[in-house]
Structure 1
Amino acid sequence: MTRTGAYGERVAEFLRLEEAPPTLTTGSLRSTKIAVTEARNDNPVPGLSGSFAAEDAYLVSLKLRDYPECEIWEQGRHIKKADVHAGTTYLYDLRVDPRYLINKPFHSLHFYVPRSALDGLADQSGARRIDTLDCSPVGHDDAIVRHIGASLREGLRRPDEANQLFVDHTMLALTAHVAQAYGGFRHKIEGSRGALAPWQLARACDKLEADLSGKLPLEAIAAELGLSASHFSRAFRAATGLPPHRWLLHHRVRTAKRLMSEPGPSLSEVAISAGFANQSHFTRVFSAIAGVSPGAWRHDVLGAAASRER
C-alpha cells in the first residue's frame, strides 16, 4: 500500500535522514492531518533526494539555512538551479514529484498541508474552495510563515511541553494564511455567529479546566459545542480576550497560585498538579505571565500570611 503524508518518517526517507525528525501534528480540519517537521543534516551524503508518494497535498517549506545552487526536479525533469536563502518560503506540489539535489548541509521546516485540509477550511467558513496553490519555484519573503515557524520550533524542541491546543491553533492559522496568500482564499465573514453563547463559553472552560495538560484537541472541544475548530477558536478569543491555549496557560498559573498559597506541596509537585510538564516548564511559563518566579511569588505570599497571623 502506498504511504502518504509527507511528515515525520516520510520526510526522513525523502531526505535520507538516519532517524525520524521532530514532528508536530493536528487534526482540527475534518480530522485531516496537518503537520510540521523540522529536518536538518549538517553532513549529508551527496545524492538526489527520495520521492514522496504522489498525493493531492502540498509542502510549505521554511528554509532555516542558506542553500546555494539548489537544483530542483519535478516529474523527473530538472527545472531550476537557484540560491535558496534562509528565511524564505517555498511551496511544493506533491502531485508532481518534487525532488532536489542534496549536496550540502540543510535545515528547514516542512509544513504538510493536504488538499482535504484546504477544502475543510473553505467548507467550515462557507467560502468557495480554492483551485490550487501557487507553487512556482521561487522563494517568498513570508513574515507570517517565519513567525509561525519560530513559534512551533519551541514545541519541536520540547515536545513533552507542547500544548496541543497551541499546535492546533497555530497550524490552523498556517493553513488559513497559505490558502489566502497562495491560493486566493477569502474567508467569509460569519456575522452574528461571531460570539459564543454563555452556555458554550461555560462548557468550553469546563473542558479546558478538566484537562490542564492541554492534550485535548481543539476539534474535540469545538465539536461538543456544534462548532468548527476555527470558528470556536475565534469566538472563544472574542469572548475571553485570549485564544484557548493562552487561556489554559493563564488558568494553569491561577491553579499553581492556589496550590502555592499553602505551605505543603513542593514546586515540582505544584508544577505537575497544575498541568505543566516539569518544574522548568512551570518556571518559564509562570515567570512570563506573573512577572516573578514561582519561588519568589510563594515566598512573598506565605511571608505576608505569616505577618498577618502575628
Structure 2
Amino acid sequence: MTQAGVYGQRLGQGFHLKQAPVLIARSLRSAELAVTEVRHDDPAPNLSGSLPANDAYLVSLKLRDYPDCECWERGRCVAKADVRAGATYLYDLKRDPRYVIDKPFHSLFFYLPRSALDDIARQPGAPRIRELSYEPGDGHDDGVIRHIGASLLEGLRRPDETNPLFVDHMMLALTAHVAQTYGGLRPAAEANRGGLAPWQVKRACDRLDSDLAGKVALQQIAAELGLSVSHFSRAFRISTGLPPHQWLLRRRVHAAQQLMAVRELPLSEIAISAGFANQSHFTRVFSSIVGVSPGAWRRDAQGGGPLA
C-alpha cells in the first residue's frame, strides 16, 4: 500500500501549525515530491510531534537562526547544536526525527521518498541508494539547495502563478543533487548526455505549445518519447538551450506579443489567453524576458517596431 507523503498540513501538524504552504511535484512515476514551508514567529514551547513513519527523507533548508537546537531521534536526544540560516539538514523519517520547539523558526522541508531516490539511480543504471549520509544535528553548507530553496520560496508565495513544470524541474534537480551529494550516486555517463532527436524536439515543443497554462506534466511528455523524466529534461535543455518551464514562459510571451500586435484587447485578457495566472504575473514575466513592460512594448509595436 502506498504511504501518504509527509508534507503540507501533514508535516505542519508536527510543528503545531495551522497552515503549511506546499508545492507538489509529480514528475516521477514512483512517488510525489514536495516542498513545505514551516514557520512560527511565536511558538509555545513544546517538543515537535512525531511524524508518520515513512520510508523517506526530509531535507531541510533553514531560513532563520535557531540557537541550541535539541534534536531527537527514536525517542531520545541525539544532538544539540546551533542552527544557522542557510544551512541544510537531513532527517530520516524512519527514525522519528523531532526537536524541541522553544523559539521562533522558519524552514523549508523537501520530502524525498526512497522510491524517488531509487528512480533517480535506476535511470543511469546505478546501484540502489541504500542510505543518505548524514549525522543528526550536523548542518551542510549546500549552495545548490539554497538556490533551489530560494526559487521555490517564491513559488510558495505565489502558488497560483507557479508553473507545475517549474516545480517538477526544480524538485527533480534537487532529488538528483541529494542522491549524488549525500547518497553517493555518480552522475549519468557522458553517453547519456546528448540532446533529443529532431522528431523528439518537435513533439515535445508541440505538446508544450498545446497547453500554454503549463498543466501538462514532464512525466507525460517524457513517456510519450520513451524517456525517463530526468533524461528528457536534461536532453531538452541541451537541444533548445532552455529547461522546459523556461521554454514555455518564452512561448507565452511570444503568444502575448502576437495578441498585442494585432488586437486591442485589455492586457488582463491577453494575460489569461497567453497562459499567465493574471495580469500582474504577465507583467513580471514579460518585463523580465523582454526588458520592458507589456504596455510599453505594445506602444512601440503599434508605432512600427518589430516583434521581440
The reply to whether TM is greater than 0.5 is: yes
The alpha-carbon deviation at position 200 of structure 1 amounts to: 1.0
- Measured in 2, the distance between the counterparts of 1:107 and 1:260 equals 42
Identity of aligned residues (%): 66
**Residue in 2 that maps onto 1:28:** 27
- After superposition, give the CA deviation of every residue in 1:267-286 in whole Å (9 maximum; x if it has no partner): 11110000000000000000
**Residue in 2 that maps onto 1:52:** 51
**Residue in 2 that maps onto 1:260:** 260
- Measured in 1, the distance between the counterparts of 2:9 and 2:127 equals 33
**Residue in 1 that maps onto 2:128:** 129
The alpha-carbon deviation at position 23 of structure 1 amounts to: 0.5
Which amino acid is the alignment partner of residue 147 of structure 1? Answer: H
**Residue in 1 that maps onto 2:297:** 297
CA contact (8 A) 1:3 1:53 kept: no
The alpha-carbon deviation at position 28 of structure 1 amounts to: 1.5
Structure 1 SS opposite 2:81 = strand
- After superposition, give the CA deviation of every residue in 1:229-277 in whole Å (9 maximum; x if it has no partner): 1100111111111110000001001101100002421111110000000
The alpha-carbon deviation at position 106 of structure 1 amounts to: 0.3
Alignment of 1:177-216 (within 5 A): 177-189=177-189, 191=191, 194-216=194-216
Aligned residue pairs, count: 304
Query: Can you give the 5+ residue segments of structure 1 that lack an aligned partner in the other structure?
Result: 306-310
Alignment of 1:156-195 (within 5 A): 156-189=156-189, 191=191, 194-195=194-195
Which amino acid is the alignment partner of residue 85 of structure 1? Answer: R
The alpha-carbon deviation at position 217 of structure 1 amounts to: 1.1
Which amino acid is the alignment partner of residue 48 of structure 2? Answer: S
Query: Can you give the 5+ residue segments of structure 2 that lack an aligned partner in the other structure?
Result: none
Structure 2 SS opposite 1:29 = coil
- Measured in 1, the distance between the counterparts of 2:175 and 2:263 equals 46
Say yes or no: does 1:237 pair with 2:237.
Answer: yes
Compare 95-104 and 261-270 and name the one that shifted more: 261-270
Structure 2 SS opposite 1:117 = helix
**Residue in 1 that maps onto 2:94:** 95
The 1:273–1:147 alpha-carbon spacing in structure 2 relative to 1, beyond 3 Å, is same
The 1:184–1:2 alpha-carbon spacing in structure 2 relative to 1, beyond 3 Å, is closer
Compare 59-68 and 260-269 and name the one that shifted more: 260-269
The alpha-carbon deviation at position 304 of structure 1 amounts to: 2.1
Q: TM-score normalised to the size of structure 1? A: 0.95
**Residue in 2 that maps onto 1:113:** 112
CA contact (8 A) 2:193 2:234 kept: no
CA contact (8 A) 1:62 1:146 kept: yes
Structure 2 SS opposite 1:36 = strand
Structure 2 SS opposite 1:186 = coil
The alpha-carbon deviation at position 153 of structure 1 amounts to: 0.7
Which amino acid is the alignment partner of residue 265 of structure 1? Answer: L
The alpha-carbon deviation at position 15 of structure 1 amounts to: 0.3
**Residue in 2 that maps onto 1:271:** 271
- Measured in 1, the distance between the counterparts of 2:51 and 2:285 equals 39
- Measured in 1, the distance between the counterparts of 2:224 and 2:3 equals 32
Alignment of 1:57-96 (within 5 A): 57-96=56-95
Structure 2 SS opposite 1:183 = coil
Structure 1 SS opposite 2:119 = helix
The alpha-carbon deviation at position 187 of structure 1 amounts to: 2.2
Runs of 4+ deviating beyond 3 Å: 1-4
Which amino acid is the alignment partner of residue 88 of structure 2? Answer: T
CA contact (8 A) 2:25 2:33 kept: yes
The alpha-carbon deviation at position 195 of structure 1 amounts to: 2.0
- Measured in 2, the distance between the counterparts of 1:106 and 1:215 equals 33
Q: TM-score normalised to the size of structure 2? A: 0.96
The alpha-carbon deviation at position 48 of structure 1 amounts to: 0.5
CA contact (8 A) 1:68 1:83 kept: yes
